[in-house]
Amino acid sequence: MNHYLFLRIYFQVSRLIGLCNLHYDSANHRFILNRVLTVTYCAILNVAYLLILPFALFLLTGNIYDCPDAGMFAVVYNVVALTKLLTMLFLMSSVWIQRCRLQKLGNDLMKLLHKFRFHLGNDCRNRCLCKALLTSSRFLLLTQQLVTRDSLVNCEGNSRLRRAMLPYQMAAIVYALIMILLMSYVDLTVYMVEVAGNWLLENMSQRVLEMVQDLEALPERNGIPREMGLMQILAAWRKHWRRCHRLDELLKQIVDIFQWQLLFNLLTTYIFNIAVLFRLWIYLEFDKTFHIWKGILYAVIFLTHHVEVIMQFSIFEINRSKWLGLLESIANLWDINFSGSQFNNSGIVLSRKLEVSLFYLNRKLQLNPKRVRRLHIVGFFDLSNSSVHNMTRSIITNVLVLCQIAYKIYG
């Protein structure tokens, strides 16, 4: 099938760039860890990445003080482009140290998807493609920051030295782009898992609605037919709730594995947004070579990165809304069962099981929990739309402060 072919290609590329030695077996619908040669290849690449990192950073920023034409704001703008490379250490530790755990979680997710006959519908496909398109803008931003006229790589210092160092600087830029690809892969993988989880939750809610319909179709009088029907619904609910609970644990473990990576990716994207928006204001206000298309490019880059942050948070907000939909469906099932099965043994057992599920989901979905936190990253902020609004206000506030500083310096 097309989506399984896509998974195969996706993980082939991840092995090629040394991210992980996972391989997707489309025949058995499971992930396996390639050994020996693949592990050796990925380990050599990762060691090379770590050893090259300080030299690449030096080549791309080492001539800060030798650039006579580069102003303070231009230098800061270029250095900010490299902040995301420092998150590579967290990426290596989170992926390589826990790759066996990732394999197990991936196989559990594939089992759930296979049981619900997963198909890559238009909504899932469009969300993943849109996320991939927005993530690819990181390469455009990094290239624009490192290669344009006022970048540190194109510094108008010693032209002879610049010509001699040009091949090494180009190699450092390629290295930086590969690092961005590694980290973008992690972001996109977490996003795809959340999209698949949301699809599963939607289908789980639909299964509960089918149980409601089956319960309403049972005879109203207590007797053997109603008892047998309730026993079947009870068995189906027990199996269904185990899958719901497993999915909840799976999604929480995925965020737990990648929480530091998500945190630093969001923080560096936040810094990018401040730098790009402030750079746009500097360009419009002070640049004598103003060109409308360059201003539009800065605006598009800022909006693209901001929309990417919104998508990263919104997928978790959608996940919360899907859990709320499941909670409402279970509450409806409990209400119908309780009203018609007060003197039926299987109905009473089903009611108790549903009450436990309602209690679990109510604690999970508390709006202002005191003892139970919502889904969050390292305790810093919740993965919700309110965090996006706070981040947007913070970006605008910081840009206004930087603008006041620029006015005091340059008048």
pLDDT of residue 336: 82
Residue 39 has pLDDT above 60, yes or no: yes
pLDDT of residue 369: 47
Task: Measure the CA–CA gap between 26 and 3, rounded to whole angstroms.
Answer: 10
Q: Please, which residues have CB within 8 angstroms of residue 367's CB and are 6 or more apart in sequence?
A: none
Least confident of 125-129, 144-148, 194-198: 144-148
Give me the chain's average pLDDT, please. Answer: 76
Task: Answer yes or no: are the C-beta atoms of 127 and 195 closer than 8 Å.
Answer: yes
pLDDT higher for 107 or 120?
A: 107
pLDDT of residue 376: 54
pLDDT band with cut points at 50, 70 and 90 for residue 381: low
Q: Please, which residues have CB within 8 angstroms of residue 85's CB and are 6 or more apart in sequence?
A: 53, 56, 57, 176, 179, 180
| Per-residue pLDDT tens over the stretch 172-195 | 888 888 888 887 787 888 888 888
Q: Is 186 exposed, middle or buried (0-12, 13-18, 19+ CB in 10 A)?
A: buried
pLDDT of residue 361: 85
pLDDT of residue 372: 42
Any bridge partners for residue 25, and if so which?
Answer: 30
Domain boundaries of the chain, sorted by first residue: 1-410
pLDDT of residue 371: 44
pLDDT of residue 373: 47
Give phi and psi for 370, each to the nearest 5: -100, -40
Task: Measure the CA–CA gap between 226 and 230, rounded to whole angstroms.
Answer: 6
pLDDT band with cut points at 50, 70 and 90 for residue 90: low
For residues 26-52, average pLDDT? 80
**CA 331 to chain CA mean position, Å:** 31
Any bridge partners for residue 31, and if so which?
Answer: 24
pLDDT band with cut points at 50, 70 and 90 for residue 286: low
What is residue 230's three-state secondary structure? helix
Task: Measure the CA–CA gap between 292 and 314, rounded to whole angstroms.
Answer: 32
* Token code pair at residue 40: 């050796």
Region for residue 101 given its phi and psi (left: phi exceeds 0; alpha: psi -120 to 50; beta: otherwise): alpha
Residue 45 has pLDDT above 70, yes or no: yes
pLDDT higher for 407 or 194?
A: 194
pLDDT of residue 282: 73
List Cβ<8 Å contacts ≥24 apart for 370-377: 374/320, 375/252, 375/255, 375/316, 375/319, 375/320, 377/255, 377/259, 377/262, 377/263, 377/266
Residue 370 has pLDDT above 50, yes or no: no
pLDDT band with cut points at 50, 70 and 90 for residue 275: confident
Q: What is the pTM of this model?
A: 0.81
| Per-residue pLDDT tens over the stretch 70-79 | 555 566 666 6
Task: Measure the CA–CA gap between 236 and 56, rounded to whole angstroms.
Answer: 57
For residues 260-275, average pLDDT? 75
